[in-house]
């Protein structure tokens, strides 16, 4: 998909349709910015601090930091290896698959929902990340498949974190 294949053309058509759909630029940029490390990491840090204070367990903080670090350690080499060109106006630059912004948002806010353990937060996390993904595509920062690939990676990482916490740490509380 990075250079060729049967999904490349539909992905580009969908990206072009989203960019020209009439979605307002202001809200799209706001949601796209929620994937910036400067936004997502402070939210994650505050949630980790609260969860650690509330439970008096250090494992959630350590595993959250490890999971976020692993996210970046996986995304950056994949971007270099696959070297997918970005959409206009980013092209001909490469390194857009998977989306680092979408992965950062999905993992950081997903960890927050997991640590706080509320089903409503999980639903909110999904809606928030949908907004981030649409914003990234609408603003021309990524193709839809870049975002989708990041979400798949995020699900794997958060599921691994959840298993680790369930087995060795406190189980995420609440009803989620």
pLDDT digits (tens, 9 = 90+) for 138-158: 999 999 999 999 999 999 999
pLDDT digits (tens, 9 = 90+) for 54-72: 888 888 888 899 999 999 9
With CA atoms as reference, report the closest residue to 86 among 10, 6, 12: 12
User: 59, exposed or middle or buried, with CB in 10 Å at 0-12, 13-18, 19+?
Assistant: middle
pLDDT band of 1, cuts 50, 70, 90: low
- The alpha helices in the chain, defined as continuous H runs, are 8-19, 25-33, 37-55, 59-82, 100-116, 119-138, 144-168
What phi, psi does 34 have (nearest 5°)? -65, -15
């Amino acid at each position: 998909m990075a250079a060729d294949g049967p999904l490349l053309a539909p992905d580009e058509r969908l990206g072009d349709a989203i960019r020209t759909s009439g979605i307002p630029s202001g809200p799209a940029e706001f949601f796209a910015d929620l994937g910036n490390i400067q936004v997502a990491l402070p939210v994650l840090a505050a949630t980790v601090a609260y969860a650690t204070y509330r439970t008096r367990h250090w494992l959630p903080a350590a595993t959250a930091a490890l999971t976020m670090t692993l996210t970046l350690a996986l995304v950056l080499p994949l971007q270099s290896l696959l070297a997918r060109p970005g959409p206009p106006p980013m092209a001909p630059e490469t390194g857009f698959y998977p989306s680092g912004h979408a992965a950062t948002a999905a993992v950081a806010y997903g960890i927050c929902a997991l640590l706080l353990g509320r089903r409503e937060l999980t639903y909110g996390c999904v809606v928030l990340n949908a907004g981030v993904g649409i914003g990234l595509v609408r603003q021309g920062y990524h193709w839809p498949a870049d975002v989708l690939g990041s979400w798949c990676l995020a699900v794997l990482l958060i599921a691994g974190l959840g298993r680790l916490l369930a087995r060795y740490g406190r189980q995420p509380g609440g009803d989620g």
